[in-house]
């Protein structure tokens, strides 16, 4: 999952010609440039029902190719009528919904990874997200991807000057501002990376922080 997000950010940097990413990331621009996804903000409480879940509990949705919302396909839909939508959470929802497109609508690299659902389980219709489904495998994968896009592991490790992720917990306010996320989402990301390192048997990653300019060439 981490590698897929890193590859997509690299594609974005190639597209824009930017060597260094600026944080917080302009997530709408990232997915528009890399995948042609447009982000639309709509109050679904004033629209026809889009799912069985009450409209005020729907976070957002995805209309992939050949599925149209108000005459357009490849749309990330954000529900402004969601009862607890904040600016930070909105950014996460955009990346989460885009994660469904990247991971579950035919992303070739995703299917090579054993951690992802097999192609025959891929989504083939518009999908809508809500907190009630957050523990389903597809939702967990999309959330992991969103975290990896908004808070790249290389950037987090670079900020960990003492080479311990635990030390970053004392800087959560600053990090939340830098990445444009809530404290809850940031702490979940740090826990996620700690678990990854423990599983790999490392206390600190060997990932290089800067990316060679050679990799940015077409």
Asked, for residue 54, whether it belongs to a domain, the answer is: yes
Residue 58's Cβ-count burial label (10 Å; 0-12, 13-18, 19+) is buried
Asked, for residue 210, whether it belongs to a domain, the answer is: no
Report the pLDDT value the prediction gives residue 194, as an integer from 0 to 100.
Answer: 85
Q: What is the CATH number of the domain that holds 125?
A: 1.10.10.2910
Instruction: Place 112 in a pLDDT band, splitting at 50, 70 and 90.
Output: low
Quick check: helix, strand or coil at residue 200? helix
Global pTM?
Answer: 0.83
From edge to edge, which strands make up the β-sheet containing 127-130?
Answer: 38-42, 75-79, 58-63, 127-130
Interval 139-178: pLDDT, tens: 999 999 999 999 999 998 888 765 566 567 778 888 999 9
Report the pLDDT value the prediction gives residue 100, as an integer from 0 to 100.
Answer: 93
Q: Which of 14, 62, 6, 5 is nearest to 38 (CA)?
A: 62
Question: Is pLDDT above 90 for 91?
Answer: yes
Asked, for residue 93, whether it belongs to a domain, the answer is: yes
User: Structural domain tally of the chain?
Assistant: 1
Asked, for residue 81, whether it belongs to a domain, the answer is: yes
- Reading the block at residue 111, the tokens are 């299917």
Helices assigned H by DSSP within the chain: 2-16, 27-35, 87-104, 108-111, 137-150, 153-159, 172-179, 183-200
**Which of the 8 DSSP states describes residue 18?**
-
Contact 9, 149 (CB under 8 A): yes
Question: What does DSSP say about strands 75-79 and 58-63: parallel, antiparallel, or unpaired?
Answer: antiparallel
Question: Is pLDDT above 70 for 201?
Answer: no
How many other C-beta atoms lie within 10 A of the C-beta of residue 34? 20
**How far from 188 is each of 18, 57, 129, 148, 161, CA to CA, in Å?**
28, 22, 19, 11, 20
Average pLDDT, the chain: 82
Query: For residues 210 and 15, which has the higher predicted lDDT (pLDDT)?
Result: 15
* Percentage of the residues of the chain whose pLDDT score is greater than 70: 79
Asked, for residue 11, whether it belongs to a domain, the answer is: yes
Report the pLDDT value the prediction gives residue 106, as an integer from 0 to 100.
Answer: 58
Rg (CA), the chain: 17
Token pair 């981490």 in the structure block, residue:
2
Instruction: Place 1 in a pLDDT band, splitting at 50, 70 and 90.
Output: confident
Quick check: helix, strand or coil at residue 35? helix
Contact 88, 73 (CB under 8 A): no
Asked, for residue 12, whether it belongs to a domain, the answer is: yes
Asked, for residue 197, whether it belongs to a domain, the answer is: no
Full domain range(s) for residue 67: 2-150
Report the pLDDT value the prediction gives residue 37, as an integer from 0 to 100.
Answer: 97
Asked, for residue 163, whether it belongs to a domain, the answer is: no
Token pair 């990316």 in the structure block, residue:
211
């Amino acid at each position: 999952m981490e590698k897929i997000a890193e590859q997509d950010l690299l594609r974005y940097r190639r597209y824009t010609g930017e060597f260094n990413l600026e944080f917080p990331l302009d997530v709408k621009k990232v997915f528009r440039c890399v995948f042609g996804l447009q982000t639309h903000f709509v109050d679904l409480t004033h629209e026809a029902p889009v799912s069985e879940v009450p409209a005020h509990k729907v976070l957002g949705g995805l209309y992939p190719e050949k599925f149209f919302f108000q005459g357009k396909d490849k749309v990330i839909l954000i529900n402004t009528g969601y009862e607890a939508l904040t600016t930070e959470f909105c950014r996460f929802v955009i990346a989460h919904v885009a994660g469904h497109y990247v991971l579950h609508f035919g992303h070739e690299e995703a299917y090579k990874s054993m951690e992802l659902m097999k192609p025959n389980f891929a989504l083939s219709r518009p999908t809508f997200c809500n907190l009630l489904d957050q523990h389903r495998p597809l939702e967990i994968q999309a959330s992991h991807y969103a975290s990896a896009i908004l808070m790249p592991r290389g950037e987090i490790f670079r900020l960990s000057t003492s080479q311990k992720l635990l030390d970053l917990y004392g800087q959560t306010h600053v990090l939340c501002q830098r990445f444009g996320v809530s404290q809850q989402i940031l702490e979940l990301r740090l826990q996620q990376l700690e678990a990854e390192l423990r599983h790999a048997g490392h206390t600190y990653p060997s990932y290089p922080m800067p990316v060679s300019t050679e990799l940015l060439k077409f």
